[in-house]
Structure 1
Amino acid sequence: MSVALITVIATLLILLLIGAPVVMAIGTAAMSYFLVQPDMLSNLIMYAHRMFTGMDSFIYICIPLFMISGELMGRTGLMDRIVSFCRIFVGRLRGGIAYVTILASMIFGCISGSGLACIAALGPIEISMMKEEGYKKEFAAALTATAAIQGPVIPPSIPAVMFAGLASVSVGSMFTGCLVPGILLGVAQMIVVAIMAKKYGFPKSDVHYSKKEALQIILNSFGAIFMVLIVLGGILSGVFTATEASAIAVVYVLLLDILMSHKLKAADIWAALKSTAKGSTSIFLIIGFSSVISWILAMESVPIMISNWCTAANISPYLLLFIFNVFCLFNGMWISDSAQLVLFAPIFVPIFSSMGVSPVHIGVVMVVNVMIGMLTPPFGMALYTTASVSGCDLKKIVKASLPFTAVCAAILFIVTYCPTLTIALPQFLGYTT
């Protein structure tokens, strides 16, 4: 391992440990290689070139488009209708509002593909409803945070889109591969709620709907639900690509507001554009800077060294998958989901592929991994976002979220060692895995 590579790794770790922004840490670490490695300073243009080529992918266009569709949906008032729609089916159970939170997050995740957008749009509604029915604020905030991570696993998934671009696999295969694990995460969280509801006597909702009222709620929420069918149905049937679907989603939300809601003003659209610009800019900068580091690791033959080490140590794919999961979960404490995907997918996908592990399977495992990383402090962006939305102390949210984080980790390992859960549906639909 060269001195320059050691410098890159040390710079990245030190900056992350002292709390530097992830974008700054990755960009500075990448630059340190050109300053330390002999003869690389004269090739500094490669820094800009690799950064640009890392972001220059047609697939990535759908990232800001899915984000803005979620932003616009949150400003049309349709979130209340989605919540009401969910209450019809699970609201009368003991702990019903907790179930509603999970189910609504699953549905909204199918619209935005972003966990943080889900927290921002649904969090105030869900937390307020749970507090009104007697739930502790920290529990309401913790459930909102953990329920949001399944949204980016269920398609359309921004992390899945990123992995598809990095590993050169089809977006459709990643979307269908993520579908079952995403649903399993939601089901597992509901099981935790059911156990806690019985143990702690969670309240039952006293809201009852007549058949006429239930039908009216379903009709009112049909526009939002139909968007999910359009996006997923179009992609999975091959009618349009993920990028085209994201553009259609934006147009659909605007038409839905014009025909039904009439709530979007020019100021709302401008605010949605600004929010999307900030969020997508951060993602694209992380992709660009991480691409430089991935190129550096390839230049230093790191993937070959890891592959040779695995061969020499006679490590089985099962053991390597376990090590990989622990590695990603640990890194989730310090590195964002986007950065982990861009940094490690180019290294580990070829290694696992040489061992006979499907790229789609390892991609789904990575996506679930980095989403759980949103719940692990000190980085834990889902926790910080929920703390900001709820006004609850971060430490209390972390403590209350532990049962849900634990069950999500259990689902991760089930998905890891049951590849059928990730590749059976793509194969059935004719995708290459």
Structure 2
Amino acid sequence: MTTIVAVVSLLFFVAAGVHIALALGVIAVGLLTFNFNIPVVLVAQMAWDSVDKYALVCIPFFIFAGNLMSRGNLALVILELVGTIIRYFRGGIALALAMSSVFFAAVNGSSVACAVALGPAAVKLMPKEGYPPRFAASLVAVCGTLGLMIPPSLTFILIGSIVGLPITDLFIAGIVPGLFEAFLLGLTTLIVSRINGYGHVGERPDWKGFGQRLPGAAGALMMPVLIIGTIYMGWFTPTEVSALAAIYAVVLVTVVYRTANLVAVWETARESVLQTVMIYGVLLGSGLLTAVLTRLGLSAELTAMLKEAQVSPFEFLLAVNLLLLVIGMFLDGVSMIVLLAPILFPMAQAVGVNPIHFAVIMTALVEVATLTPPVGLNLFVMSRITKMPLHSIVKGVLPFYGMRVVALVVINAVPALSLVLLT
């Protein structure tokens, strides 16, 4: 009965527009203090313990570095660099955008931040190259989702901190699936462009122009190498490399490219602090929710039911995928992770699903959620940037849903895709 009351209360708060962090906190504190008679001082200590983790220090630094790179307007630099050699065939600039999204995914760690970084440059450049504005906006919305899979993914940081998985392992696990998704995205982009006749056709690759632009773009191109390369080689932890990335981003936009001054850096830092506080608030609520679930024994009961029913990994993953695809229509990715990760991960381990692989699956499902109306965040972001109606962008995204389904099926069916770099 207590569980039903908690779920109904949470749904009521969310429907009323209350932020998920506050809703979780109110419900969890109420249950812990009144239902389980735990002193408020101990409840506060539980909340503090949920964020008092060294690994979480990387969140503000990665957010700051990503926001600063976006504010520095480096998307156009990367897009034009790649475009010089592939714009000569139909769909070339669209493919350049898809390839550039890999770079920004490896810098931002967020689908919304990635879309915001690419959106203005794409809307400015692509219509001049013969692409409809709706296609440009829709493509950026899809490209932005790579920021959730390719490290430094904030989704992996959230999952790791909530369920206790090593964030370094999660980052490494996301590299190959992220590149696989990028390959499918590029292939789909070319197919859609050629079928609809989007884009101008040039005479040949402009290698001279590429050579001229490369030195200017080299500083920006080194950022993903700095983040992913040093983590994979074991030279730095995610927390250490996040601080290094923040310093590098400041030097890049203020000294190398001079696209931002110290005032802009300060404003970006303030914005990043506000975003960090929001995430930490969610983690506080998540910590208290986990404490409630432990005392209710819900996860243990569900795990015992799975073992008794002898549910296979295939059946479990099928049910989870269908469940999260539906829930993703109504909740944002952070809410999905906070509410479901503490429950689903013990169940996944009980049926024999590798927890690292399951984290990648859950991240792929969150990617789909960012493109699914009525709550798809990337759709709203691009609608705001382009001033286009939401339904128009949804229509433009539809051809890419097939690509997302293929990627989701392969990631579910082939654990090696997620685990190959960890072996």
Q: TM-score range by the shorter chain?
A: over 0.9
Higher alpha-carbon deviation: 202-211 or 245-254: 202-211
Q: Report the TM-score when normalising by structure 2.
A: 0.93
Q: Does 1:53 pair with 2:71?
A: no
Q: Tell me which of 232, 235, 249 is aligned to 2:231.
A: 235
Query: d(CA) in 1 for partners of 2:380 and 2:20?
Result: 15
The residue type paired with residue 49 of structure 2 is T
**8 Å contact from structure 2 (residues 379, 393) kept in 1:** yes
The residue type paired with residue 12 of structure 1 is L
Q: Does 1:358 pair with 2:350?
A: no
Q: Does 1:318 pair with 2:306?
A: no
CA deviation string 1:233-269 (max 9, x = no partner): 1111111101110100011122233542123212211
**8 Å contact from structure 2 (residues 227, 242) kept in 1:** yes
**8 Å contact from structure 1 (residues 110, 228) kept in 2:** yes
Query: d(CA) in 1 for partners of 2:276 and 2:87?
Result: 35
**8 Å contact from structure 1 (residues 26, 290) kept in 2:** yes
Residue 420 of structure 1: CA displacement? 0.9
- 1:23 aligns with 21
Residue 208 of structure 1: CA displacement? 6.6
- 2:80 aligns with 84
CA deviation string 1:90-148 (max 9, x = no partner): 32231222212211111111112111111222211112222233433222211111110
Query: d(CA) in 2 for partners of 1:209 and 1:190?
Result: 18
Unpaired segments ≥5 residues, structure 1? 428-433
Residue 364 of structure 1: CA displacement? 0.9
Query: d(CA) in 1 for partners of 2:131 and 2:29?
Result: 49
Unpaired segments ≥5 residues, structure 2? none
**8 Å contact from structure 1 (residues 290, 339) kept in 2:** no
The residue type paired with residue 246 of structure 1 is S
Q: Does 1:337 pair with 2:333?
A: yes
**8 Å contact from structure 1 (residues 157, 175) kept in 2:** yes
Higher alpha-carbon deviation: 104-113 or 89-98: 89-98
Q: Does 1:135 pair with 2:118?
A: no
Residue 18 of structure 1: CA displacement? 4.1
Higher alpha-carbon deviation: 48-57 or 201-210: 201-210
Query: d(CA) in 2 for partners of 1:154 and 1:23?
Result: 25
Residue 401 of structure 1: CA displacement? 1.1
Residue 415 of structure 1: CA displacement? 0.5
Query: d(CA) in 1 for partners of 2:21 and 2:399?
Result: 31
Q: Does 1:202 pair with 2:198?
A: yes
Over the residues paired in the alignment, what is the CA RMSD in angstroms?
Answer: 2.1
Q: Count matched residues.
A: 423
Q: Tell me which of 270, 279, 282 is aligned to 1:283.
A: 279
Query: d(CA) in 1 for partners of 2:261 and 2:210?
Result: 29
Call closer, same or farther: CA 1:329–1:43 in 2, change over 3 Å.
Answer: farther
Higher alpha-carbon deviation: 304-313 or 244-253: 304-313
Q: Does 1:187 pair with 2:183?
A: yes
SS in 2 for 1:151: helix
SS in 1 for 2:236: coil
Residue 161 of structure 1: CA displacement? 2.0
CA deviation string 1:354-387 (max 9, x = no partner): 3332111111111111122111222211111111
**8 Å contact from structure 1 (residues 4, 32) kept in 2:** no
Query: d(CA) in 1 for partners of 2:354 and 2:237?
Result: 22
Query: d(CA) in 2 for partners of 1:398 and 1:17?
Result: 23
Q: Does 1:398 pair with 2:363?
A: no
Residue 346 of structure 1: CA displacement? 2.6
- 2:363 aligns with 367
SS in 2 for 1:152: helix
**8 Å contact from structure 1 (residues 107, 151) kept in 2:** no
- 2:378 aligns with 382
User: 4+ runs of 1 displaced by more than 4 Å?
Assistant: 205-210
**8 Å contact from structure 1 (residues 294, 342) kept in 2:** no
